[in-house]
Amino acid sequence: MASPSSLEDEELRQAIAMSLANTSVHPGDEDDDDDVRRAIALSLCQDTPSDAQTVPLPGSQVDSVMGSQAAACTDKLSQYAPASATSKTSTQLLTDTSSTSKPSEFLGLDRKAMESERLARMGKRKRSASPELPSKQPTKARVAGPAAQQSTTDALQYPRGTVKRTWATKRPRSNDIKLEEVLQRNTLNIAVLSAFQFESTWFHENQIDPYQVKQIWIFSAKGEGLQEKLRREAAESQIPNFKMIFPPLPGQSLNMHGKLMLLFHPKHLRIVVPTANMIKEDWGETGNSWQPGVMENTVFLIDLPRRPDEKAAVEMDTNFGKEMFRYLKEQGVTQNVFEGLLKFDFGATAGFAFVHSIAGTTSGPERSRTGLPSLAKAIQDLKLDDIDRLEIDYATSSLGALKEPFMKQMYLAACGLSPLSDTKINVNILDHFRVYFPTKETVTNSTGGPDCGGIITLSRDFYNASTFPRQCLRDYQSTRPGLLSHNKLLFARGCKKDGTPIAWAYIGSANLSEAAWGMQKVLKSGKEGSSLVRNWECGVVVPVPAENLQSVGSGIPPMSVFAGTVDIPFVYPASEYGGREPWIFRG
């Protein structure tokens, strides 16, 4: 008779198989679905290395792949190991906090061991804590660290919003930020967190104490069978102050890929939109003291004050807040979160725009409210439309089956126009659209080398297609030499029809693909067809202040205009590939 654990594994295999069967993906349509298929195949493979044989969980269809990639990545990084590190293998050093999960452990989280460590640290007797209710323990006992030096009486750190690069160990600090500095864990009460990947053991041992912070995790899990398995494992692990939300993934939709943090503190709310997942490599860590960071990301964050009258607003009063609320409601976030958000003043978000992609197939008015139309609306709301000419520089960590029609729709949306607009653009769009993606040479020569490039994806079949816009590709070389990029950044520069210069940047989770942004279709009859968005995504549009554009005069600003607003993480201008090849993760 099969053991309970083997039956659970078989249930998971069946759930994954069913979810893949329901997607009906056509060859050449997308990029992200191939990534997930590969990840699932590897995670279920019987001969997968033991360090990668974790139960495939949230977003997790790639978590096991990341585990094996990290193990391989450390082979390249072992050259940095001091002699004293030779008592452990490089794989052990990189995965010390990522041991193989047991059936009763959710996402590899050893709750019993963590509780013992907590009791030893706090010197207090164990107390029960409901997963549904925030802990009432005093905040003064929270983990100390750089972020713990901030007093709850301090002024808001980023009241007008800011964009920073992620910190990378062994690198000089320069307008960067660590995850612990983002979280401000000493005063954090509630954290609503969404990402495609979570590394829970690392996160709970090094970033947030679940006994002190109520957590709501929003992540990707398609199919009732997989979701039920995750709920069961979470219940068995008895994680305190913990709740999961699985956004709908109907039909051919694939992933909850959005990255967002809502961090509730006694006196302020911090909204964070990163390009990073909740894994240590994305936040510049490597799991030990001697390896340098291998990956870089970008983070938008803004601090909002609690309303002085302590009364919640009746409704959201900024476009940023309204679009964020819509995105969260569609994901299934509960009413008490919205009630909490309305207790904070969103006034400072009026100068930014929240952009989203809601997974699913839409038609009619709903079609014009998410994906590329969401970007177009954001540009209109910020008065960055009425464009005469526009230049786009897009840094992406994954590329789909790019074709000129999609690139045109992306360009129109960035101009604040409907993706199906019949407005004639009197330029060759591909001449004004640059895509930053690393060459094989750049990845090979990076700090982590090719074994750390698994998160950067492009199919050779896509690239070799006659319809792929090769002339748009530029080599992504980090301004911090050796780092690979997980960024998803769009830099737009242009001038309005009256000659006024404009510039803005998008920071978010959306790669340059139809899976992320959707594509508007026109039927043979001439009518607009339905729109398919495969992924949940979110991001923020950050305009360059008008005063920074004054020295430009008229015309299109140079890339240097972003100085002081968003640090451009890649070297520019960058040459075309020429005879070089792009980095191909799979053949």
Residue 27: exposure state from Cβ atoms within 10 A (0-12, 13-18, ≥19)? exposed
Dist CA 374 CA 387 (whole Å): 17
Token code pair at residue 65: 């792949």
Q: What is the C-alpha separation between 457 and 459, in angstroms, rounded?
A: 7
On whether the CB atoms of residues 169 and 307 are closer than 8 A, the answer is: no
Question: Is-catalytic flag, 432?
Answer: no
- Annotated binding residue at 488? yes
**Omega of the bond leading into 573 within 30 degrees of 0 (cis):** yes
Q: List, in order, residues 6 or more apart from 450 with CB less than 8 Å away.
A: 76, 443, 444
Please give the Cα distance from 64 to 197 (Å, whole number).
10
DSSP string, 352-369: SEEEEE--EEE-GGGGGG
**Does 259 show up as a binding residue in the annotation?**
yes
The first and second tokens of residue 404, run together, are: 């000129």
Q: Is 257 designated active site?
A: yes
Report whether 457 contacts 36 (CB < 8 A): no
Q: How far apart are CA 522 and CA 150, in angstroms?
A: 54
- How far is residue 77's CA from residue 70's CA, in Å, rounded to a whole number? 10
Q: Torsion angle, CA of 318/544/386/501, rounded to 10 degrees? A: 160
Helices first, then strands: H and E counts in the chain:
16, 20
Contact 549, 503 (CB under 8 A): yes
- Strand pairing class (489-496; 473-474): unpaired
Q: Write down the catalytic residue from 204, 265, 356, 486.
A: 486
Cα separation, 47 vs 546, whole angstroms: 58
Q: Could you give the count of Cα atoms lying within 13 Å of 494 in the half-sphere of its Cβ?
A: 27
CB 232 within 8 A of CB 55: no
Largest CA distance in the chain: 78
| Per-residue burial over 275-299, b = 16 or more CB atoms within 10 Å of its CB, e = otherwise | bbbbbbbbbbbbbbeebbbbbbbbb
Q: How far apart are the first and last CA of the chain?
A: 41
Going along 476-534, which residue ranges are E strands? 484-485, 489-496, 501-508, 531-533
Is residue 144 exposed (0-12), middle (13-18) or buried (19+ Cβ within 10 Å)?
exposed
Catalytic residue among 204, 257, 268, 356: 257
CB-based contact 536:359 (threshold 8 Å): yes
**Annotated binding-site members:** 259, 488
Catalytic residues: 257, 486
**Annotated binding-site members for substrate:** 259, 488
